[in-house]
Structure 1
Amino acid sequence: MRKISRLLLAALIAAAGMLVATAGPAYATLPGFVLSSTTASLPTSLSALATGKRIQYVTTNINGGVITATGLVLTPKTNKKNRVVAWGHGTTGLADQCAPSTSQAVFWNEARLAIAEMLTRGWTVAAPDYPGLGTAQAHPYLIGASAGRSLIDNVRAARNLDSALSTQYVVDGHSQGGQGSLFASQLAPSYDGNLVLKGTAAIAPVSNTQEFINYIPGTPGQGYLVMALTGVSVVEPSFKPNNVLAAPAEAQLGVLQSGCLPEILATYQNFSATDLVEGGVVPAAVVSKMASYENPAQTALSAPVLIVHGTEDEAVPYFASEILVDQIEAYGVPVTFHTIPGANHDQAVVQSVTVVADWIAARFT
């Protein structure tokens, strides 16, 4: 009898090994699958409130191909309520050293304040770096459908680490992250599986870029335009930014890999319009191409929306969100538009921390 039991046990072990060997790689291609998890080094203001994991997880590119991404999962130390908020950070740069999960230098102060408030409310925060920041592939900057996927899949990854977390989640973000949050809401019905999106908050989100792209050359923020042209080339290799950029701007492209946002903006801030792009104007066909990748609300969003914008925004003009609100409402989606008089791009986050958190709390309720 003992011999039979041992044989049976050996057979079961062998069968289990075969199952792991065959199923493991399959599971490893599922969006949200956690490939690695290590203890994260957090800013002091957040380490007092949360335990952090830096993760590498599976997501997809805009064509559905499986890729890897990195990010954070921050779990409240007290008052945990088993709800998840995905936080989309504002622009940090294009290079691997510009990933907030590993570089506190680009873990912007406004992001720390927003995340701290969420943790205080008891919500787990899933904070992706976005594809290409911290991984081998190039970063498809301002390609909204890319950031949207990574936001959703960082939530999936958080739930894979903590099965007690609810399927309910909210997406929230600033600037590039606000744009990504809106794209996540568009994608959710067909992409987020058994997750339940309860709302989308977007602070100074990038939108309606066709309305202001050609006001950027010759201004202090024109480094953003250089990055955006590069982002298009990542998803459309036939597109060549050098065909748009003027020779002086081309000569400085190395900064996109040697530095992060402050260095990129400083490099290009004093260029004239004609030193930045040929003839000082981005061609209409290029403007249209960029808008097709960058503008949210080209399809219906799937949950209530909060838009926050400061009237003195120097990076994304306030009027872009005025247009955006009308576009979202045209789908019949509930929209709350919170204007902050006199606030610039980053101040909009700082001055709306409580407003946004209260709105998110109402969605979970």
Structure 2
Amino acid sequence: MNTIVRPILAAFLSAAGVLAATAQPAIAEPAAAAVAPGIVLTSSPATLPAELSALATGKRIQYTSTSITGSTITSTGLVLTPRSGKKNKVVAWAHGTTGLADQCAPSTNQAVFWEEARIAVAELLSRGWTVAATDYAGLGTVLPHPYLIGASEGRAIIDSVKAARNLDPALSTQYAIDGHSQGGQGALFASQLAPAYDGNLVLKGTSSIAPVSNTDTIVPLIPGTPGQGYLVMALFGLATVDSSVQPLNILAAPAKARLGVLSSGCLNEILAAYQDLTATDLVVGGTVPDAVLAKFAQYDNPAQTAPSAPILVVQGTDDDAVPYFVTADLLIPQLQAYSQPVTFVPIAGATHDTSVIQSADLVADWIAARFA
């Protein structure tokens, strides 16, 4: 099973008798010796959703990446090659939240290759671009998934592009990034990391749709709302990189009683398991401690350092997962404080997911202009 439940959660769930096997076997990590990021370890034909199979052929890959501590790790993902009109460029697709366990990797589970993601990726493929779609670290490997740890996501995104070019050396060094929600956050982190991390690649632009940001502002709003499962996942994401964060000391007893869903289910099941709890049922005292909020800000908030390429941010005004004001009033000024141009496109009435669907053409047009 995914090691998100090890060691923090395993003892609790084992005692409760709720450990569950995942759908995909965990992938072993490479030897301890350092390996260049982006090396393709395995490649096999992938079965794509119908919306994409007409547009592209796919390969599921295991590739080397780097943890936030600098160690070599394995990530998985898809490389989608357009069937026609190839323009020799790569766009990295960074997916929204799917869950924490191994079976929640979109490269092997089409149920979590969300509709909005398929529409966005189909539009990219229709422009003739190769799409590298990472699962991020820990989804489908023996690692825990460092959920919302931006520097981890950013490395996995960049290394998926390196892996695509290792599969097809004819691909250009120019690339762009397109991400939604968790992936929108990861895309912004990748832009921050790129100058020092992407080697000879050339990032031309980053599109970020409904990105997670300013988590120290969002988190206090979550207890007692239908989105409480996101907070449970985020606590365990923090715990993968910071041992001072102990989810079992933060979560209240009713929330701990439902932790089995983190290994047995994916996003929808996790949200359903926690949606009806009160704030005090979710976390001790009904509020997340200030010290933990500071950790969220440290690890999860983009715009702490300068982006390296132009940025497009798209945000629906009716988003109930990432509140509009967080993006419009907080994130955009933070990004504008740096030298790279920032384009902000609000979409009136759009939700967290429909913002992706309604902006698919706009985003692809913006990326095409960056490549041009």
Scaled by the length of structure 2, what TM-score is found?
A: 0.90
Alpha-carbon shift at residue 239 of structure 1 (Å): 1.9
Alpha-carbon shift at residue 238 of structure 1 (Å): 3.6
| Structure 1 counterpart of 2:68 | 62
Q: Which amino acid aligns with 1:337?
A: F
| Structure 1 counterpart of 2:20 | none
Q: What are the Cα deviations for residues 67-109 of structure 1, in whole angstroms up to 9, with x where unaligned?
A: 0000000000000001000000000000000000000000000
Q: Which amino acid aligns with 2:70?
A: G
Measure the CA separation in 1 of the matches of 2:252 and 2:51. Answer: 43
**Match of 2:75, SS?**
strand
Q: What are the Cα deviations for residues 222-279 of structure 1, in whole angstroms up to 9, with x where unaligned?
A: 1000000000001113421111110110111111010000000000000000000011
Alpha-carbon shift at residue 51 of structure 1 (Å): 0.5
Measure the CA separation in 1 of the matches of 2:75 and 2:262. Answer: 19
Q: Which amino acid aligns with 1:51?
A: T
Measure the CA separation in 2 of the matches of 1:121 and 1:330. Answer: 32
1:200 to 206, 211, 216: 206
Measure the CA separation in 2 of the matches of 1:239 and 1:176. Answer: 20
Q: Which runs of 4+ in 1 moved over 4 A?
A: 24-28
**CA 238–272 in structure 1, closer or farther in 2 if over 3 Å, else same:** same
Percent sequence identity is 69
Measure the CA separation in 2 of the matches of 1:344 and 1:288. Answer: 28
| Structure 2 counterpart of 1:340 | 347
Measure the CA separation in 2 of the matches of 1:219 and 1:335. Answer: 32
2:311 to 305, 315, 318: 305
1:288 matches 2:294: yes
2:165 to 156, 159, 162: 159
| Structure 1 counterpart of 2:360 | 353
Instruction: Say whether the 8 Å CA contact 1:174–1:205 is kept in structure 2.
Output: yes
**CA 138–121 in structure 1, closer or farther in 2 if over 3 Å, else same:** same
2:262 to 253, 256, 261: 256
Instruction: Say whether the 8 Å CA contact 2:32–2:72 is kept in structure 1.
Output: no
Q: Which amino acid aligns with 1:249?
A: A
Measure the CA separation in 1 of the matches of 2:173 and 2:32. Answer: 23
| Structure 2 counterpart of 1:97 | 103
2:94 to 88, 91, 94: 88
Q: What are the Cα deviations for residues 277-317 of structure 1, in whole angstroms up to 9, with x where unaligned?
A: 01111111111111111100000000000000001100011
Return 315-324 or 136-145, whichever deviates more: 315-324
Measure the CA separation in 2 of the matches of 1:28 and 1:73. Answer: 24
**Match of 2:84, SS?**
coil
Instruction: Say whether the 8 Å CA contact 1:28–1:58 is kept in structure 2.
Output: no
Measure the CA separation in 2 of the matches of 1:196 and 1:139. Answer: 28
Measure the CA separation in 2 of the matches of 1:251 and 1:212. Answer: 24
Where in structure 2 are the equivalents of 1:1-365 lying within 5 Å? Answer: 29-322=35-328, 323-365=330-372
**Match of 1:235, SS?**
coil
**Match of 2:240, SS?**
helix
Instruction: Say whether the 8 Å CA contact 2:245–2:292 is kept in structure 1.
Output: no
Alpha-carbon shift at residue 27 of structure 1 (Å): 9.9
Instruction: Say whether the 8 Å CA contact 2:34–2:71 is kept in structure 1.
Output: no
Measure the CA separation in 2 of the matches of 1:137 and 1:238. Answer: 19
**CA 233–25 in structure 1, closer or farther in 2 if over 3 Å, else same:** closer
**Match of 1:212, SS?**
helix
**Match of 2:207, SS?**
strand
Q: Which amino acid aligns with 1:358?
A: D
**CA 290–25 in structure 1, closer or farther in 2 if over 3 Å, else same:** closer
**CA 222–25 in structure 1, closer or farther in 2 if over 3 Å, else same:** closer
Q: Which amino acid aligns with 2:313?
A: I
**Match of 2:306, SS?**
coil
Q: What are the Cα deviations for residues 36-73 of structure 1, in whole angstroms up to 9, with x where unaligned?
A: 00000100110000000000000000111100000000
Measure the CA separation in 2 of the matches of 1:312 and 1:288. Answer: 27
Instruction: Say whether the 8 Å CA contact 1:28–1:35 is kept in structure 2.
Output: no
- Greater Cα radius of gyration, structure 1 or 2: 1
Measure the CA separation in 2 of the matches of 1:77 and 1:153. Answer: 23
**Structure 1 unaligned runs (5+)?**
1-23
Instruction: Say whether the 8 Å CA contact 2:92–2:175 is kept in structure 1.
Output: yes
Alpha-carbon shift at residue 320 of structure 1 (Å): 1.3
**Match of 2:315, SS?**
strand
**Structure 2 unaligned runs (5+)?**
1-29
**Match of 2:137, SS?**
coil
**Match of 1:139, SS?**
coil
